[in-house]
Amino acid sequence: MKSAFLVVSATALLVPAISCGGSPAAPITAPSQSVSFAGTWNGTSIDSQGATIVTWALTQTGSTAAGTVKTEAVDPNDGSCNSCHRNKTGTFSGTTSGTTLTLTMFFAAGGAGDPTPACTATLTGTASRVAADTLTAAYSGADSCEGPFMDGTLMMTRHP
CATH code, 50 = 2.40.128
pLDDT on residue 25 = 52
Residue 151 to residue 160: CA distance in whole angstroms: 30
Do 87 and 72 form a contact (C-beta atoms < 8 A)?
Answer: yes
pLDDT on residue 127 = 94
**33 domain-assigned:** no
**83 domain-assigned:** yes
- What is this structure's pTM? 0.76
- Phi/psi of residue 15, nearest 5 degrees: -60, -50
**129 domain-assigned:** yes
**2 domain-assigned:** no
**5 domain-assigned:** no
**14 domain-assigned:** no
**32 domain-assigned:** no
**84 domain-assigned:** yes
Domain that includes residue 55, residue range: 39-159
How confident is the model over 23-62, as pLDDT tens digits? 455 444 444 566 789 999 999 999 998 899 999 999 999 9
* Count of structural domains within the chain: 1
